[in-house]
Amino acid sequence: MDAVSQHLVTLLTEKFEVPAEHIDPQATLADLELDSLAVVELYLTLQERWNIPLDENGADAEHTVDAIARRITELLAAAATESEGA
């Protein structure tokens, strides 16, 4: 498990009290019983943690854990590429 996925799992278990055994990469946030407010809070927390422009307006309970981790990884890679070019 990469650092982004591990952080996401830790955040879900510690802050949102999702039992670790329920967190599967293909589980949606709705599967994990996060309501819309919790989903937005999760996105904001991830945005702050990684300092990336993760659009909380796109926060959707139907996104999977894996899809969120992949999106964060993509944004981090884009930010790294951008900083190298600056």
Look at residue 59 and give its three-state secondary structure. coil
Average pLDDT over residues 24-37: 96
Strand partners, 28: 64
Question: What was the pLDDT predicted at 73?
Answer: 94
Q: Confidence band (pLDDT; 50, 70, 90) for 34?
A: very high
* Helix, strand, coil in percent for the chain, rounding step 5: 65, 0, 35
Q: Confidence band (pLDDT; 50, 70, 90) for 32?
A: very high
Mean pLDDT, the chain, integer? 92
Q: Confidence band (pLDDT; 50, 70, 90) for 85?
A: confident
Cβ count near 55 (within 10 Å): 11
Average pLDDT over residues 29-37: 96
Instruction: Set out the domains of the chain in order of their start, with CATH numbers.
Output: 3-84 (1.10.1200.10)
pTM of this structure? 0.88
Average pLDDT over residues 7-34: 96
